[in-house]
């Protein structure tokens, strides 16, 4: 049954295209809302944060909210699986502080981050730091 429906599906860089329905729509494409982070990019941002300071998961979420000043607010359902994946790949280590897990970048994680410093998301993140968010919010309200 899966094969019967999946054969109309093509994988591309942005998502899945379906060969049926209204104009072969794409998830996250013109018909839907695009994701703030492309798949896999949030791991680089989290590793970069952990390179500066060890943190627990909730602190990572709050720091991301503060860093993007309301334009992006990650859910625990997006952050904690990434932290688990980073631990599985030995890019972070975990220590306990009471009930909290403190995540620290490892040498392997640091090497992975350095290899990917030219990642598109990390470059966008640097541009994002210099943006005037108040002017952007004002412009958005005038639309």
Residue-range domain boundaries for the chain: 8-36, 38-131
Query: Does the pTM exceed 0.75?
Result: no
- Model pLDDT, residue 123: 66
Give the other-Cβ count within 10 Å of 143's Cβ.
Answer: 4
Task: In whole angstroms, give the CA distance from residue 116 to residue 63.
Answer: 22
- Tell which CATH architecture fits domain 38-131: Orthogonal Bundle (1.10)
* pLDDT tens digits, one per residue of 50-109: 999 999 999 999 998 888 777 778 889 999 999 999 999 999 999 999 999 999 999 999
At 114, phi and psi to the nearest 5?
Answer: -65, -35
């Amino acid at each position: 049954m899966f094969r019967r429906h999946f054969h109309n599906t093509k994988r591309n860089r942005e998502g899945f295209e379906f060969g049926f329905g209204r104009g072969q729509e794409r998830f996250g494409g013109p018909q839907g809302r695009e994701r703030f982070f492309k798949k896999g990019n949030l791991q680089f941002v989290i590793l970069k944060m952990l390179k500066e300071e060890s943190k627990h998961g909730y602190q990572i979420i709050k720091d991301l909210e503060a860093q993007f000043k309301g334009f992006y607010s990650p859910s625990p359902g997006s952050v904690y699986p990434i932290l688990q994946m980073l631990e599985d790949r030995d890019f972070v280590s975990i220590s306990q502080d009471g009930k909290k897990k403190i995540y620290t970048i490892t040498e392997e994680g640091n090497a992975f981050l350095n290899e990917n410093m030219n990642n598109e998301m990390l470059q966008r993140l640097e541009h994002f730091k210099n943006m005037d968010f108040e002017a952007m919010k004002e412009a958005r309200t005038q639309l």
